[in-house]
Structures are given as structure tokens and as C-alpha cells.
Amino acid sequence: MRHEKICLSPVAGVDEAGRGPLAGPVVAAAVILPARGIPRGINDSKKLSAPERARLHDRLQLCAIVGVGIVEADEIDTLNIYWATMKAMTLAVSALDCVPAHVLVDGNRLPKWDHAATAIVGGDALSLSIAAASIIAKHVRDTIMLSHAEQWPHYGWASNKGYGSPIHLAALREHGPCPLHRRSFAPVRDHDLRRTESLMSHAIS
């Protein structure tokens, strides 16, 4: 029997995490909440602590329909961060086990897709499903960056998750970028250029 996606609930909320960091992927999530049994405490992920996000992430995985889309740093450099974010959102909705009747997206722009959709500025504070998506996206991305922090400890990703903190920028100056850095982002591009010029200078001398 051919598997077909059947819509179980009409609305999916979509949000992303990781547009601003200098390293790591951009992650988007799409969430269709259940009609009953919605976990208490769902809010804009920025207003929740990491343990609260982790708890809600696990609860949502059990009771909601969840899709996640991930676009890595090298593809961000190819597409640019805007289109990479749009792709991550598209992947997240495509990963849902059903086709939503409508999609609510945090922000003022929509991906180029065939879904009926509405962009909502500040949607993570106005829509429960978007807030749920923000929790999933943030938790997934933070978990990814924590795993990378073990391989690249000097960038301080355990605390900054790839954002341009003083520790991260100091490590860029000392060590240059690693394969997980977004080389199209100015702070990384500038440090990469300086490091390349320094290496070439030493090679010539």
C-alpha cells in the first residue's frame, strides 16, 4: 500500500534557530500541536532556560507532529543565510508526517512553496505552534553545537553556540576558522583572509 500523508491537524507552526551565528547550521522546525494534551510552559524559546527547552522538546516529540530541517555551514555560504533559512523551513515542513492545511511562519517572509501560509512578525510570542517550533529548533541546534564543541573546544561553543562572543572571536584570531565556520560571514571571512595572508607570508620568507 502506498504511504500517503494525511493531515491530522490543520495548522503547523514554523520557526528557525541559528541565523546569526558564525559557525554551525541553521535549523528550522515545524510543529503541529495536538488538539488536547499540549504541554504546559510553551513559550518563545528565548524566554526559556536550556533545561526548560530540553524538557519541552522531549514532551513535544511525544505528543506533537514534528519536522526538522537542517542546512549546514557550507550550504549557507553557497545560498546565503536568507535562502538557507528558507530551505531549512521547507525541509522542516516536508519532514512532517502529514500535510498541514495552513502554515504559520515566524517573521515577515515566506519560503517559495505551495502551502497556504501566513508570515507573523513576532510569531513566537503570538502563536503556540510557532513557539513550539522555536523550542524544537533551538534545542536541536544547541545540541548539535554542544557535540561539535567537544571536537573544537577553543571556540567556546559550549557556551556561545557559535555566536560571535569575545571568546569565539579571540579563537578565530588565534586559530582561524574551522570547517564548521560560515566563511561568507564577515568576521570569519576577514579572519580567514588574514590567516591565509599570514601563512603565505611565512611560506615566502
> Residues at the annotated binding site for a divalent metal cation?
15-16, 106
Cα radius of gyration rounded to whole Å, the chain = 19
CB 71 within 8 Å of CB 87: yes
| CA–CA distance, 111 with 83 (Å, rounded to integer) | 8
Long-range contact set of residues 167-171: C-beta below 8 Å, sequence gap at least 24: 168/22, 168/23
φ/ψ of 175, rounded to 5, equals -110, -15
Which residues does the annotation place in the binding site? 15-16, 106
Q: Where are the alpha helices (DSSP H) in 70-127?
A: 73-79, 81-94, 123-126
98 close to 3: Cβ distance less than 8 angstroms: no
| Cβ 165 vs Cβ 156: under 8 Å | yes
**How many whole angstroms separate alpha carbon 30 and alpha carbon 26?**
14
Which residues on neighbouring strands pair with residue 68, listed in sequence order? 29
Q: Which of 12, 5, 25 is nearest to 65 (CA)?
A: 12
Pairing of β 102-106 and β 117-120:
parallel
